[in-house]
Amino acid sequence: MSSTLPCQNTLILPGLFGSPEAHWQRHWARDRADSRVVEQADWDHPHLAAWLARLEEAIAAQPCDVWLVAHSLGCVLAAKLAERPLRARVRGALLVAPCDLETAEALHPDTILFGAMPRQPLPFPTLVVGSLDDPYMPLDRLRRTAQAWDAGLQTLGRAGHINIASGYGRWTAGYGLLDRLKAAIEPGDPARAAAAPVRAALADLPNPA
């Protein structure tokens, strides 16, 4: 019998307070065998060093390169990984409803220890999915953040924080967004594809439900 570990190459990154069982991220992990949630020891008091360590452990444990599917503060965690050596193991990232750290800290004072909002271009192809009325990310900041991260941007209309409260339980359209991101990256490209062609390939995405 082979001792090779199976590759769960889609790592799901929840945000503050984790994602409850009815959240689309938990459905995703149950629906797709190649996916797993990166669990944090303390969802209620996010500390960047601790959260990064868990993410890096999850990446290092995989026998293959990975895709990241993040929500809210999990998107900021993915962006913070861009400063770490294991960024080279990331094929691409789907970042859904990223939170603006300044806004999140104002809504949850003395809770989040994540440092400054990352503004550098991400070294892996990225699609940001946002909302026109997200209480955690004003639209102008969403656009500036996607631009700073050198990411494609897809908006879903008035979708709130793209969570249970705004009607996003099982969200199968999200699978299509990740598949579209994968298709935009040339298979086998050791450079993980240039960001600009990936953005162009994602520019004409229709708004998913």
- Predicted local confidence at residue 116, as pLDDT: 97
Q: State pLDDT tens for residues 46-96.
A: 999 999 999 999 999 999 999 999 999 999 999 999 999 999 999 999 999
Cβ within 8 Å of residue 7, ≥6 positions away? 34, 62, 63, 64
List b or e across 103-138, with b for residues whose CB sees 16 or more CB atoms inside 10 angstroms.
bbbeebeeebebeebbeeebbbbbbbbbbeebebbe
Instruction: Give the largest Cα separation in the chain, rounded.
Output: 54
DSSP state of 200: H
- Predicted local confidence at residue 185, as pLDDT: 81
Residue closest to 136 by CA, chosen among 89, 85, 95: 95
Task: Report the alpha-carbon distance of residue 178 to residue 206 in Å, rounded.
Answer: 14
CATH of domain 10-202: 3.40.50.1820
- Predicted local confidence at residue 200, as pLDDT: 55
- The larger pLDDT score, comparing residue 1 to residue 198, is at 198
The three-state secondary structure class of 68 is: strand
pTM for the model? 0.89
Residue the block writes with tokens 């990740």: 178
User: CA-CA-CA-CA torsion for 18, 107, 114, 157, nearest 10 degrees?
Assistant: 70
The three-state secondary structure class of 114 is: coil
Domain residue limits, the chain: 10-202
